[in-house]
A and B are shown apart, each in its own frame.
Chain A
Amino acid sequence: MNVKDKVIEIIAEQAVLDPSDVTMDSTLQDLGIDSLGLVESIFAIEEAFDISIPFNANEPEAGDFDISNVATIVAGIETLMAEQA
């Protein structure tokens, strides 16, 4: 499974949606994922890809990991995988 499909699977599970309902330009807010759901998604992504994501719930916009939508999350994971390989 590629990064994109795995991320969609994780986010769909968190949002209690079918993966086909999650698109690359979906935002977490669109999908109804709240702040606790976001922290859980980050944890699931870290576990799935064996990476460490710099994310502080107090300043979600700070840092290099962009959570604006599914596409930016996928891109962020690919960057971290390359850096942390």
Chain B
Amino acid sequence: MFDNFPLWPQRASSMAGNVDALFIFLLIVSGLMTLLIFTAIIYFAARYRYRKGVPAEQIEGSIPLELSWSLIPLGVFMVIFAWGAVVYFKGRTPPRDSTEVYVVAKQWMWKLEHAEGQREINELHVPVGRDVKLIMTSQDVIHSFFVPAFRMKQDVLPGRYTVAWFHATKPGTYHLFCAEYCGTQHSGMIGSIVVMEPAQYEAWMSGGTGGPLSATGEKIFAELGCVTCHRSDTQGRGPNLQGVFGKPVQLEDGRMLTADENYVRESILDPGAKVVKGFKPVMPTFQGLVSEEQLNALVAYVKSQSQPGAGVAKANAAVTAPEGAPGKGNQVQ
């Protein structure tokens, strides 16, 4: 019976236990508070019900009581707050050497692209026991990537990247929902996350594609002529992109920022917005000229240029696994 009438969601990621623990703590705290209040109300209501000739006893109030029922709950709330914040930070901070998947949401489907090049629609295959980082953007309205079994949710916005991550712990197939209302077929924007044993995953990955995403990006980089200015020496009209990603950049107006996915994206679409110090704002915009998928490939390529020993050839292999991380062995191409 409980197959069709579950009372607790599946637990299939490293975050699920953390969220459930806090949730259970909250259930206990609020259960106790409910019990306390309801018992008091029911007891008082019965014990002090109207009796002829027994007048109510007037009580003005009590400062110590007021203070204790403000401060004690406040203390409990602060514990919940701190605990919640810790869980949230963990869930918002992707580990460094995660496998990367680019997600493009549109009305009403999920397009997923592995850094290794596999493309999927409404279905994401991931290996068990590995950190997976999602770099997500939307082609139209706001969507939200929600996997209940992973206790993970992140809105997907048009015009920028949002990031989420998970670490699947149990093989199986799990629901993927769009959780932000996105139009007529919102409830049809669903899919599944297939968590596989590493060996199976290898087999699935070797199904063949057109090569890693960064290689696609490199091709686009050449086709669009980016390479004429962004040369691999210091003579180009644009900055040399080797080793730029993930590093601090000084802008022409003196500001400093870190070159992350959103910065690379903005620099392609709105090059004049944040020009690197020492360069002129001569780059034309590529807004409308590149699709979200091509943008993702370009970002992946720029990223690959910052992997250790980033030669063009090596970069492809190193996209997902810098510094000999365990992921490296999985690059079966």
Q: Decide whether A and B are members of one complex.
A: no
Residue positions of B touching A, CB distance < 8 A: none
